[in-house]
C-alpha cells in the first residue's frame, strides 16, 4: 500500500475540496461551447447549400425530441425535476401556445413547416438537394436514432440527477445556435416572408427560460448528497458526448 500511495498521491488526496458550485459552473459553460464552437457552424455559416442540407439532416432530431422529453418525464422520480421537465413538455407539444390550433404549434410540426417552406425557395431548389432527399432523410433518421439511443442509455441507468443533467446539455445551446442560423439565413437573402421561421424565432426565446430553469435546479440539487456533483458531472459529460456526435454526424454528411 505504501509503495502505491506516494507523496504526490498524498498531496492530491489532502488538497482542499473544490467548491461544488464552481465545479458545476465550469462544466456548464463547456457544455454550451462544445456545440457553439463546433466546426459544423463554420461550414454552414456562409454556404447556403450546406446550411440547407444541415437543416434537412437535423430534422429527425427535432421530430423525435418530444418523444424523448416524454420518456424522460415518465422515468424521473424526483418531483422537482418532473415539474421542470413537464413545463418543457407542455411547450414542446404546443399546449403552451395561445393560438387556437395547438397541433400547429407543436415544435416538431413547426420545424416541418419550416422545412416545407425551405424546399419551395429558389436558392434551395438550385442546390439539387431535392433529388437526393430520400437518402438524406434516411441519414437524418440514423443520426437522430444514434443521439436518442445515447440518451436512452443514460435514462436506463435510473439516476435522476444524471438524466436531468444530460438533458440540460441540449437546452443550453438551442437559443444561441438557432439565432446563428437565422443570422445566416438573413445574410443569404432569406426573410420571414420567404421562409416560415417561427420554429427558429420561438426557440430563440423559450429555450432561454428552459435552460435557466434546468440550471437553477441543478445548482439547488448540489446539496442532495455528497456524490451529487459527481452524478451531475457524469450526466453532463455523457450528454455533451451525445451532442458532439450529433453535430459531427451531420458535419460528416456535408462532405
CA R_g for the chain: 20
Contact call for residues 86 and 151 (beta carbons, < 8 A): no
| Grid cell for residue 184 | 445566416
- Is the pLDDT assigned to residue 100 strictly greater than 90? no
Lowest mean pLDDT among 28-37, 96-105, 112-121, 240-249: 96-105
CA distances from residue 130 to 196, 197, 206 in whole angstroms, order as listed: 18, 20, 31
Average pLDDT over residues 59-63: 96
Lowest mean pLDDT among 86-100, 141-155, 156-170: 86-100
pLDDT digits (tens, 9 = 90+) for 165-207: 999 999 888 888 999 999 999 999 999 899 999 988 888 777 7
Q: Which residue has the cell 437524418?
A: 140
- Is the pLDDT assigned to residue 31 strictly greater than 90? no
In the chain, the percentage of residues whose pLDDT exceeds 90 is 65
pLDDT at position 99, please? 52
Q: Choose among 53, 157, 66, 161: nearest CA to 106.
A: 66
- Is the pLDDT assigned to residue 104 strictly greater than 90? no
- Is the pLDDT assigned to residue 16 strictly greater than 50? no
- Is the pLDDT assigned to residue 133 strictly greater than 90? yes
- Is the pLDDT assigned to residue 157 strictly greater than 70? yes
Question: pLDDT averaged over the chain?
Answer: 87
pLDDT at position 6, please? 42
Distance of alpha carbon 234 from alpha carbon 52, whole angstroms: 34
pLDDT at position 67, please? 95
Lowest mean pLDDT among 120-134, 162-176, 199-213, 221-235: 199-213
- The structural domains of the chain, ordered by start, are 46-254 (1.20.910.10)
pLDDT at position 8, please? 41
Average pLDDT over residues 88-112: 75
Q: Which residue has the cell 435552460?
A: 211
Helix segments in 188-227, DSSP class H? 198-220
pLDDT at position 103, please? 63
pLDDT at position 15, please? 39
Average pLDDT over residues 80-92: 93
Residue 62 dihedral angles phi and psi, to the nearest 5°: -70, -45
Q: What is the pTM of this model?
A: 0.86
Distance of alpha carbon 207 from alpha carbon 172, whole angstroms: 7
Lowest mean pLDDT among 52-66, 124-138, 197-211: 197-211
> Angle of helix 107-118 relative to helix 79-92, nearest 10 degrees?
30
Q: Which residue has the cell 440514423?
A: 142
Amino acid at each position: 500500500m505504501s509503495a502505491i500511495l506516494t507523496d504526490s498521491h498524498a498531496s492530491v488526496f489532502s488538497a482542499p475540496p473544490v467548491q461544488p458550485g464552481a465545479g458545476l459552473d465550469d462544466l456548464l459553460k463547456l457544455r454550451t461551447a462544445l456545440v457553439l464552437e463546433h466546426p459544423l457552424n463554420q461550414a454552414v455559416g456562409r454556404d447556403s447549400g450546406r446550411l440547407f442540407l444541415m437543416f434537412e439532416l437535423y430534422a429527425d432530431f427535432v421530430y423525435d425530441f418530444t418523444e424523448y422529453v416524454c420518456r424522460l418525464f415518465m422515468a424521473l422520480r424526483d418531483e422537482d425535476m418532473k415539474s421542470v421537465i413537464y413545463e418543457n413538455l407542455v411547450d414542446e407539444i404546443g399546449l403552451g401556445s395561445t393560438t387556437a390550433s395547438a397541433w400547429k404549434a407543436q415544435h416538431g410540426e413547426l420545424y416541418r413547416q419550416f422545412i416545407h417552406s425551405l424546399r419551395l425557395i429558389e436558392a434551395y431548389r438550385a442546390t439539387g438537394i431535392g433529388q437526393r432527399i430520400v437518402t438524406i432523410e434516411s441519414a437524418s433518421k440514423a443520426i437522430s436514432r444514434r443521439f436518442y439511443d445515447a440518451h436512452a442509455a443514460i435514462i436506463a441507468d435510473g439516476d435522476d440527477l444524471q438524466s436531468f443533467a444530460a438533458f440540460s446539455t441540449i437546452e443550453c445551446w438551442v437559443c444561441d445556435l438557432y439565432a446563428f442560423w437565422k443570422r445566416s439565413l438573413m445574410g443569404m437573402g432569406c426573410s420571414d416572408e420567404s421562409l416560415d421561421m417561427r420554429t427558429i424565432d420561438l426557440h430563440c426565446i423559450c429555450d432561454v427560460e428552459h435552460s435557466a430553469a434546468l440550471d437553477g435546479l441543478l445548482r439547488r440539487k448540489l446539496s442532495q448528497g455528497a456524490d451529487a456533483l459527481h452524478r451531475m458531472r457524469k450526466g453532463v459529460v455523457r450528454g455533451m458526448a451525445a451532442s458532439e456526435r450529433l453535430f459531427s454526424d451531420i458535419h460528416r454528411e456535408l462532405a
